[in-house]
Structure 1
Amino acid sequence: MTLPQGRDFQPPWPLTSGHIQTMLSSSGVRRTLLPKRAYRVLEGAQEVLVDGGDGIRLTGSFTAQKIQPESRGLAVLFHGWEGSVDSTYVLQTGSRLLEDGWDIFRLNFRDHGESHGLNEALFHSCRLDEVAHALSDIARRWPARVMALAGFSLGGNFALRAALQAPALGIPLNYALAVCPIIDPSEGLFSLEESAPWFYQAYFMNKWRRSLRAKQKAFPHVQYFELQELKQNLRGLTEALVLRHTDFGSLEAYLDGYSVAGHILADMQIPATILTARDDPVIPVTAFEKLELPSNVELDIAPYGGHCGFIQGWDMTSFCDEYIAARFNAIADAQAR
């Protein structure tokens, strides 16, 4: 079986623009134009709470496949920063995998979706322990022959770190796939500030500030931030919250805490794939080119795709769906043999 490769993605003009791909990926236009089958994962979805350990609760959504007598396996999907289980790319990927007989679990990170009132402490990107604990809970409650994980952007970063720890934690994870993951957070932060067009930072900051206000409303007795801090740029607000709400002594230490750059993934034991695009305006491709990876980790750099876009045409469907489904199916077929 020949698996699709990033070089196979050859979109028509003007979708050859990384900026257009990125802007369309989470746009309302895309949601409107996508075919109905892209939302099939919502049908019969069960909203659940999962155990993040130490009293932490995370929200998620489980959808059982009804295509074949026995499920191919359990596909777990991680959204990106300030996304949710209902982000377009998560719904589309989940719906595509459902068509091939996968059960789907979509997980919300802390303070994402409508979960701001569940846990008092703020979300930050180093909260891997609770995500890994949630994976263990998901695997226990929905046991499957195969468990495969896919994450997007920050969710891709979490997916790689969770896969790295899975064997030691006893999580029965068979495969992980990261789409445009954050590799070197310090470099990614600098890219948004210095080289990416201003509207990317404005977009993320607007969503983040809205999320922080929702958190403050949920826990009015806690002072999460000062109003003046909300007016800072991405770097300034991140540093203020890191120093106020974490044990990291500096912004640099925090960013290093969730980096997967350089040799960090060299000890990955399970099969994994990293898919990114050379024209991604949010995550610099140089970070991927510097990775030191074992033979079981595939790095695939496509010429086009933007940041988590990979939009094939004006029906707004994504090349990622077939790409992920083909690799998940290959893992399930190999396991069955």
Structure 2
Amino acid sequence: MNLPSGKDFRPSWPLTSGHIQTMLSSSGVRRMLLPKAAREVLEGAETVVVDAGDGVRLSGAFTAQKVHAQPRGLAVLFHGWEGSVDSTYVLQTGSRLLREGWDIFRLNFRDHGDSHSMNEALFHSCRIDEVVHALGDIAQRWPARPMALAGFSLGGNFALRAAMQTSRAGIPLSYVLAVCPIIDPAEGLFSLEKAAPWFYQAYFMHKWRQSLRAKQAAFPQHVYFEMSELKQNLRGLTEALVLRHTDFGSLQSYLDGYSVAGDIMQAMQIPATILTARDDPVIPVAAFEKLQLPPNVELDIAEHGGHCGFIRGRNMTSFTDDYIAARFNALLPAQEG
């Protein structure tokens, strides 16, 4: 079976710019221009709460396919940092897989989407145990198989880490695909500070501060931050919240806690694919080139695509939809693929 690869993505100018790809990927313009089919996953979606262990609850949305008598499988989608189940790229990918006959589950991480009031403790990127537990609950409640997982950016990092634990946790995950995942958080933070244009950090900080204010409003009796901390830059605010709300003794220790760099993914026991772009201005490609991967993990580096962009043209659809659908469908028996 010939599967699409990163080299097949050949956008025309000006979409050969990683910055344009990145800016368009989450823009309101893109959301407005997307065809109606990119929002099909919203039709008939059931809002649900899943058990994430130790009293933690996470929100999500389930959409049952209507193409076949039986679903081809269960596709679980993870959004990026300060995204949600309703992020454009999640809706677009979910809608495509829905048309392919997959049941779709879109999961919100803690404090993402409208979920700030669900759990008192603050989100941070090392909360992998609750995501793995949530995957176990999802697998039990929606039994279509195979079960495949795709994540974007920080969601791709969570997806890779979760996939390395599913065998131990008895979760029947068959495959994981990460689009532009965070590999080395320390290197990514440095890149946003020193190498990426200022507006990327400004964009993320604006969304993060909004989220933190929503958290504070949901639990007014709890002091999550001082106003002076909220005014700091990305590094300063991250360090302040790590020291205030986690058991990590330093910022570096926290960043190492969700790294998948070096040989960490040697622990991956299921097939996995990592798709990224050489012109991603948010996550340096060098982090991917230094990975030491087992044979079951495919690394695919496209020349263009920016950060989670891969936008083809004026209709704002993404190459990643075909890419993910093809690899998910490849999990099916030959007569069903």
TM-score for the superposition, normalised by structure 2: 0.99
Q: Secondary structure at the match of 1:298?
A: strand
Correspondence 1:58-69 to 2 at 5 A: 58-69=58-69
Per the TM alignment, residue 336 of structure 1 is displaced from its structure 2 partner at its CA by 6.8
Instruction: Report the count of equivalent residues.
Output: 337
Partner of 1:137: 137
Partner of 1:119: 119
In structure 2, distance between residues paired with 1:128 and 1:165: 10
Per the TM alignment, residue 145 of structure 1 is displaced from its structure 2 partner at its CA by 2.0
> What are the ranges of 5 or more consecutive residues in structure 1 without an aligned counterpart?
none
Amino acid at match of 1:44: G
Partner of 1:272: 272
Q: Secondary structure at the match of 1:53?
A: coil
CA contact (8 A) 1:146 1:335 kept: no
CA RMSD of aligned residues (A): 1.0
Partner of 1:155: 155
Partner of 2:283: 283
Per the TM alignment, residue 170 of structure 1 is displaced from its structure 2 partner at its CA by 0.3
In structure 1, distance between residues paired with 2:224 and 2:46: 32
In structure 2, distance between residues paired with 1:109 and 1:266: 25
Amino acid at match of 1:163: A
Q: Secondary structure at the match of 1:181?
A: coil
* Pairing 1:165–2:165 present: yes
Correspondence 1:128-277 to 2 at 5 A: 128-277=128-277
In structure 2, distance between residues paired with 1:333 and 1:256: 39
* Pairing 1:49–2:49 present: yes
Amino acid at match of 1:200: Y
Identify if the C-alpha distance between structure 1 residues 335 and 227 changes in structure 2 by more than 3 Å, giving closer, same or farther.
farther
Alpha-carbon deviations, 1:103-141, whole Å to 9, x = none?
000000000000000000000000000000000000000
Partner of 1:20: 20
In structure 2, distance between residues paired with 1:215 and 1:145: 36
Amino acid at match of 2:21: Q
In structure 2, distance between residues paired with 1:314 and 1:190: 33
Amino acid at match of 1:68: H
Partner of 1:38: 38
Per the TM alignment, residue 335 of structure 1 is displaced from its structure 2 partner at its CA by 10
Partner of 1:293: 293
Correspondence 1:53-92 to 2 at 5 A: 53-92=53-92
CA contact (8 A) 1:176 1:271 kept: yes
Per the TM alignment, residue 332 of structure 1 is displaced from its structure 2 partner at its CA by 2.2
CA contact (8 A) 1:50 1:57 kept: yes
> What are the ranges of 5 or more consecutive residues in structure 2 without an aligned counterpart?
none
In structure 2, distance between residues paired with 1:249 and 1:277: 34
Correspondence 1:299-314 to 2 at 5 A: 299-314=299-314
Alpha-carbon deviations, 1:81-103, whole Å to 9, x = none?
00000000000000000010000
Per the TM alignment, residue 175 of structure 1 is displaced from its structure 2 partner at its CA by 0.1
In structure 2, distance between residues paired with 1:183 and 1:296: 18
In structure 2, distance between residues paired with 1:66 and 1:333: 20
Per the TM alignment, residue 334 of structure 1 is displaced from its structure 2 partner at its CA by 5.9
In structure 2, distance between residues paired with 1:267 and 1:204: 31
Q: Secondary structure at the match of 1:162?
A: helix
Q: Secondary structure at the match of 2:48?
A: strand
Amino acid at match of 2:158: F
In structure 2, distance between residues paired with 1:203 and 1:334: 44
